[in-house]
Structure 1
Amino acid sequence: MDFLSDFLTLFLGKLQSPTMGFLIGGMVVAAVNSELQIPDAIYKFIVFMLLIKVGLSGGIAIRNANLTEMLLPGLFAVVTGILIVFIGRYTLAKLPKVRVVDAIATAGLFGAVSGSTLAAALTLLESEGVKYEAWAAALYPFMDIPALVTAIVLASVYTSKQRDNALESLSKQEYLSKQRVTAGGYPNQRRIERRITASGYPKDPRDTAGARVRIWPIIQESLQGSALSALLLGLALGLLTRPESVYESFFNPLFRGLLSILMLVMGMEATTRLGELRKVGQWYALYSFVAPLLHGFIAFGLGMIAHITTGFSLGGVVILATIAASSSDISGPPTLRAGIPSANPSAYIGSSTAVGTPVALALGIPLFIGLAQALGG
């Protein structure tokens, strides 16, 4: 009963946070058919500012860390972020009535990192007296960015295949129609198929559609997208320059206010497409409950390998598990909205905020800390 009470307290506390409050406010505004609108130019500027800030903070943290010590944990963070997206692609996307692009976007959001969940883990580690490396929090861009890039690339590959299949199917139908007109009737189907094959049209368009998808141009296009470009630019500036003064005086003070407006917009957009989520809501709820714990345990296991081989602290292992269990509430939604515009925000935002984040906070963090203390004791 106490555990349930603690879970509900954390959940209600999360709903009362400014970020969640503006998100819910946007959903309410859209639900009552308000004419309130945020101009698209303002939305794009806010996204740029937020992603530059996130990239700057990550770059500064990495620059101040010992890169040799970060090598193996950083590699594991990258692997975990990519793996989480593939897990969602081949589990959630296979469930009934779940659109593949929605599943990939949801997996991308769960592969990306929540700064607030990470902050909660750091606070709890300190209160429990669990030691961790000062640079451990800088692992988040190693997981966050690869997860988002992987999700966008997988979605691009999938949509490219679907488009090629549709074009091949249309070409085949047009060719069949042309053959019927030329023959003055409807020739035998087998004879038509022989003509199609001889003319270069495949019997099954899916046999060759995949060969037309070139991965590198998709990756290049993804990296050149506005959202990821801003994130990577901020990361590079944080690593290669000394932006602390402008970061502290300009980007950091504006961050929470801009994030609140962004969440208002995302809430409005999510509500307008909420009807689509109701059809498959139970599958997203199931995924969102299981995924944070599964992802966290995968990262915890990899972190233990780093602990045994390089002396990576158990507190660092908890941080790695926590960022894997978290789902992004900052860089993820705008990046996915820009990179996978066909995905339904109600699916990936609703899954994260309604179930994923409370599970990571109330179950994941205490579980991983307790496990680390048991192993270290």
Structure 2
Amino acid sequence: MTPMDPIILFFLLGLGAGLLRSELKLPAAVYDLISMLLLLSIGMKGGIELAKQPFSTLLPQMLAVMGMGMLMPLLAFPVLYYVGRFKRADAASIAAHYGSVSVATFAVAVAWFTSRNIEFEAHMPLLLAVLEIPAILVGILLARGISKDMRLGAVAHEVFLGKGIVLLIGGLLIGWIAGPENLAPIKPLFFDLFKGILALFLLEMGLITAAQFGSLRQYGLFLVAFGIGMPLCSSLIGTALGVWLGLSVGGTAMLATLAASASYIAVPAAMRISVPQANPTLSLAASLGVTFPFNVLVGIPVYYALAQWAHSLLGS
């Protein structure tokens, strides 16, 4: 029997405990702390590598990834609105979740790739941050159109100054400015303990995921089918873009993973402000109840195999 990655077992422990209605739960302060440590660690790792290459070489990739982030909710919306027959606000909100990205999925992918010595471009945390934003703006426009009561200031504050973006970009800047030598004193906390912190985070994510299963029973099989089908389709877009941008096999697989993930932190907060009539339970049931466990348990190896296949076709 092939041993399973322990961080996946932590997720399954949380999922099982939640489904069995155990009293197990991380204190809110602990969950907030490990979330902050993860975001800062991911950002600093990317910032260290970002200092090694000129920003001008990354700009085309950033613009291309932003375009992908705008495209995916536009593809998801008609499926949800016309096939799923969701209300316009709900369809737009769910679509925005699937155009954005999951930091937790990225963290799991980093651990999975690292444990298998699979190299990928070190500026992926920068692309992760870039992908958070475009889908939110597209989702708001799909739900409301352009109107005077959009509260653009509040939306911009939530999008650009939300905790996740501030910590991720802040970590990037710290790693970029300080460099590896100056970060050495804090390396044991932010780098050496990364996988242990991620394991605790996934334990809580398993508990949270279990809480969304009731919504899946209520809203039927469509959200399950969409929650699996959409990331598979999005991974094809991410793979094609990675190959087109000339990324390595690992980088292409990572971009496919980012494309396939769905937000459950930044987007819900922004939708709550701008599209309050949307039902957040529907979005979270799909993104957190279906897509996150699918990606963590099944998707990441599939996206890596897809990237290998795409590069083999080109002989690269």
* TM-score (normalised: structure 1): 0.65
What CA distance in whole angstroms lies between the structure 1 residues aligned with 2:301 and 2:15?
24
8 Å Cα contact 1:51/1:231 also seen in 2? yes
Amino acid at match of 1:32: L
Q: Which moved more, 1:79-88 or 1:364-373?
A: 79-88
Q: Which moved more, 1:319-328 or 1:114-123?
A: 114-123
- How far does residue 46 in structure 1 lie from its aligned partner after superposition? 1.6
**C-alpha spacing 1:212/1:326, structure 2 compared with 1 (3 Å):** same
Equivalence for 1:273: 212
8 Å Cα contact 2:155/2:270 also seen in 1? no
Partner-residue secondary structure (3-state), 2:21: coil
Q: How does 1:104-123 map to 2 (within 5 A)?
A: 104-109=96-101, 114-117=106-109
What CA distance in whole angstroms lies between the structure 1 residues aligned with 2:176 and 2:85?
44
What CA distance in whole angstroms lies between the structure 2 residues aligned with 1:330 and 1:363?
13
**C-alpha spacing 1:144/1:106, structure 2 compared with 1 (3 Å):** same
Aligned length: 302
What CA distance in whole angstroms lies between the structure 2 residues aligned with 1:317 and 1:302?
12
Q: How does 1:1-377 map to 2 (within 5 A)?
A: 16-92=4-80, 95-96=83-84, 99-100=90-91, 101-109=93-101, 114-117=106-109, 137-153=121-137, 161=144, 210-242=147-179, 243-280=182-219, 282-306=221-245, 312=246, 316=247, 318-327=249-258, 333=264, 335=266, 342-343=280-281, 345-357=284-296, 360-376=299-315
- How far does residue 213 in structure 1 lie from its aligned partner after superposition? 0.6
Partner-residue secondary structure (3-state), 1:36: coil
RMSD: 3.8
Partner-residue secondary structure (3-state), 1:348: helix
What CA distance in whole angstroms lies between the structure 2 residues aligned with 1:122 and 1:45?
23
- How far does residue 239 in structure 1 lie from its aligned partner after superposition? 1.9
Partner-residue secondary structure (3-state), 2:53: coil
What CA distance in whole angstroms lies between the structure 2 residues aligned with 1:209 and 1:69?
34
8 Å Cα contact 1:58/1:238 also seen in 2? yes
- How far does residue 17 in structure 1 lie from its aligned partner after superposition? 2.5
**C-alpha spacing 1:241/1:79, structure 2 compared with 1 (3 Å):** farther
Equivalence for 1:197: none
Partner-residue secondary structure (3-state), 1:79: helix
What CA distance in whole angstroms lies between the structure 2 residues aligned with 1:264 and 1:125?
25
Query: Percent identity over the alignment?
Result: 20
In structure 1, runs of 5+ residues without a counterpart are 1-8, 127-133, 162-207, 307-311
What CA distance in whole angstroms lies between the structure 2 residues aligned with 1:353 and 1:336?
15
- How far does residue 137 in structure 1 lie from its aligned partner after superposition? 1.6
Equivalence for 2:277: none
Amino acid at match of 1:138: A
Partner-residue secondary structure (3-state), 1:212: coil
Residues 155-187 of structure 1: CA deviation (Å, up to 9, x unaligned): 66678x5xxxxxxxxxxxxxxxxxxxxxxxxxx
**C-alpha spacing 1:370/1:96, structure 2 compared with 1 (3 Å):** closer
What CA distance in whole angstroms lies between the structure 2 residues aligned with 1:241 and 1:38?
33
